[in-house]
Copies of this chain bind each other. A is one copy, B any other.
Amino acid sequence: SRSINLAVIPGDGIGQEVVAEGLKVLSAVLPQDVKLETKEYDFGAKRYHATGETLTDADLDALKKHDAILLGAIGDPSVPSGVLERGFLLKLRFAFDHHVNLRPSKLLPGVATPLAGEPQIDFVVVREGTEGPYTGNGGTIRKGTEHEVATEVSVNTAFGVERVVRDAFARAQARPRKKLALIHKNNVLTFAGHLWTNVFNKVAEEFPEVTTEYMHVDAATIYLVTQPERFDVIVTDNLFGDIITDLAAAVSGGIGVAASGNINPSGEFPSMFEPVHGSAPDIAGQGKADPTATVLSVALLLRHLGYEAEAARIDEAVSADLSERTGKPARSTSEIGDALAVRVAG
């Protein structure tokens, strides 16, 4: 008999509320023979204030035992910027080698976009998750003085770039349009840019059916708002991926519906799935948060664990729910979750 042993990290702000709905939909969609076990972890601002801890070695050992991780959101204004980001979110991505950061962008029917006209948006960004300027390499000298110098080092390895580029090619190959764009800034960041471009061109030879293009990151932001239909699969560096996936989320219906996976494709460590939005402390605890991005993250989680049919049922339920929203009164977080649970069970 099958089973899913899930680590659940509600986190801060609206994290609690949206994760509850994600789990509701997950329970509703799973076939009876699949045993779902969940264990909740209390990471985030509250624990940090109480203990000074963000993520200990013992925590990592515990998390390691799960099949996957569902995260709500981590972050609170009471904690200095960077502490939870570096101490929890990035620490986990690095510790579990989440090198494929997967972020689909699809403009679903009935969803409002800030773009004029009726743009066609359906692409997925494969963002590198363990290298680039996110490594924490760098430092500061003469801190706080007028002679301070602060550096940030972007680290890029052939090993790290090749595995994520290969993953992106495989995803492009599996999609009808079979297109892959590399986004970088190889005319300025020439060291990292050459590495990315060379590896990309080398791996391309193994995927002759995939049409490739290269684009500078600045130009990519233009195309994302003027020709988003141009994109099918994008592969990019950690920082560029961070930036363009927020823009991609904005044009394809907002971060309220943007899901993401922090994936370790080898399965050596559990992968983690989370909505792209943050903890939104301003609306926390009011039942106002839209759980859709979390529910779509649950679909990515199921797909990753091999439950393709269940993932597809969630995607369809979300599409149907979104397409019927126009003109209706706003629903609470749990009302949306209930509606989705009914649809996926049906």
* Inter-chain contact A242/B185, CB cutoff 8 Å: yes
Q: How far is the CB of A84 from chain B (nearest CB, A)?
A: 8
The interface residues of chain B lying within 8 Å CB-to-CB of A150 are 156-157, 191-192, 194-195
A48 to B230, CA, bound (A): 33
Binary interface encoding of chain A residues 235-268 relative to chain B, with 1 for a CB under 8 A from any of its CBs, else 0:
0000100111111011100110000000000000
Interface membership of A320, Cβ < 8 A: no
Q: Does A58 contact B (CB under 8 A)?
A: no
Residues on B with beta carbons closer than 8 Å to the beta carbon of A155: 149, 151
Q: Which of B85, B186, B251 contacts A187 (CB 8 A)?
A: B85
Q: Which residue of chain B is the closest to A158 with respect to CB atoms?
A: B148
Query: Which range contains the number of A residues in contact with the other chain?
Result: 35 or more
Q: Given A144-B198, A151-B154, A243-B217 in contact, is the A188-B133 Cβ separation under 8 Å? A: yes
A86, A140, A150, A190: most-surrounded residue (chain B CB, <10 A): A150
Partner of A154, one of B143, B152, B156, B162: B152
- B-facing mask of A98-132, CB < 8 A → 1, else 0? 00000000000000011111000000000000000
Pick from B195, B244, B247: contact of A225, CB below 8 A: B247
* Nearest 3 A/B pairs, CB to CB: A218-B246, A221-B247, A148-B158
Residues in A lying within 8 Å of B, measured CB to CB: 81-82, 85-86, 90, 113-117, 133-134, 136-140, 142-159, 162, 185-195, 197-198, 217-219, 221-222, 225-226, 239, 242-247, 249-251, 254-255
Given A138-B191, A219-B246, 6 more pairs with CB closer than 8 A? A86-B188, A113-B116, A115-B116, A150-B191, A188-B239, A217-B243
Sample of 9 A–B contacts (CB below 8 Å): A82-B190, A86-B187, A114-B116, A138-B153, A140-B191, A148-B157, A150-B157, A151-B154, A221-B246
